[in-house]
Amino acid sequence: MTQVILKQAKIIDPSSPYHNKVMDIKIENDTITQIEKEIAAPSGFEVVNISNLHVSKGWMDSSVSFGEPGYEERETIENGLKVAAKSGFTAIALQPNSNPTIDNQAQVRFVLDRAKNHATTLYPIGALTKGSEGTDLAELFDMKNAGAIAFGDYKKALQNANLQKIALQYVQDFDAMVIAFSQDSTLKGIGIANEGAVSTKLGMKGIPALAEELQVARNLFLLEYTGGKLHIPTISTQGSIKLIKDAKAKGIQITCSVAVHNLVLNEEVLMGFDTRYKVSPPLRDEATRKALVEAVLDGTIDCITSDHNPLDIEHKKLEFDLAKDGTIGLESAFSALLTVLPMEVVIEKLNAIKRVLNLENPTIATNNQAAISLFTTTDNWTFGKENILSKSKNSAFLGQKMKGRAIGIYNNGQLIINS
Active site residues: 307
Cβ-contact 6, 41 below 8 angstroms: no
- For residues 118 and 144, the answer to whether their CB atoms sit within 8 Å is no
* Angle ∠(149,92,337) on CA atoms, nearest 5: 130
* Total residue length of the chain: 419
Distance CA 400, CA 283 (A): 15
Q: 152, 233 in Cβ contact below 8 A?
A: yes
380 and 401 in contact (C-beta within 8 Å)? Answer: yes
Beta bridge partners of 251: none
Residue of 257, 311, 408 whose CA lies nearest to 66: 311
Instruction: Please tell me the distance from the alpha carbon of residue 292 to that of residue 284, in angstroms, as a whole number.
Output: 10
What's the CA gap between 199 and 189, in Å, rounded?
15
Q: List the Cα angle 282/285/290 in 5-degree steps.
A: 110
Q: At what angle do helices 77-86 and 105-114 cross, to 10 degrees?
A: 60
Give every CB contact of residue 62 below 8 A, 6+ residues apart in sequence. Answer: 93, 233, 257, 303, 305, 353, 356
In whole angstroms, what separates CA 43 from the centre of its chain? 38
